[in-house]
Structure 1
Amino acid sequence: MSLIEARGLAKSFGGDVVLQGVNIAINPSEIVTIVGPNGSGKSTLLRMLAGVLKPDGGEVSHAAGLTIGYVPQKLELEASLPMTVRRFLNVPRRVSEAAAERALERVGVRALKGRSLEGLSGGQMQRVLLARALIVEPD
């Protein structure tokens, strides 16, 4: 049984077809690499597989009880809403202090816990996003 399976995926933005007729199956313990030129739909495909974006055509199915950790390529945050790294880890749901500490430690940014997100470098922010994805203990 596949963890994720997609059949006939299609997606358009403003009349531009980004993906059409995409089929993919991801099995347990499998490492999958998606490669292609800029603008070829890699991020769109991954967002549809994760359930973040709805396909215009085709279907995506997940194994029962599957937990996905998703790290966006970039994240737009409202600059007037200051938020610490620790508080950000509670979005979209609260996590224990121990879980937050473990995730931040795992990605090497535990010392940033009290820092404001707006003051982080791009690389630090990516590590925080990865920590947030790992907190849910994805499959």
Structure 2
Amino acid sequence: MSEEVIDPWSAHVSRFDIRDAQLTGMRPDGEVFVRHDLSLTVQEGRFEHLSEDEQGQPTPSRLCYGCTIRISGAASPDYWSGTDMQIVVTGTHQNGWRITIVGQGAIGFDDAGSVGIEFDQAPTMTVYEKEGGDG
């Protein structure tokens, strides 16, 4: 008989998709990074952070804020490296409303070459009613 493992912190994490997305990032030196026509998955909330002390013993876990944006359907990366940038993501939320996400974060690529975004501080998210006002 197998036991189902339930993540006790999953209620602290939300996830949604953005389609027809454009990603723009600007590095401090002025270099600009742009990608468009993306399908993205946003995941944000409090994630459990596990660590060890100097003797290798587990320390009390912490719930740390994080926001990641990945290509929809991409596997979880084994490796990810990013560059700090001012980031703007625009697109259509899965509910049909337009969404803009703005913040200081990092843009990089995972081991499979898929673009990824990470924010350590909450980015600003603004939503706009669907065109035609039927939202």
Question: TM-score, normalised to structure 2's length?
Answer: 0.24
Greater percentage in strand:
2
Greater percentage in helix:
1
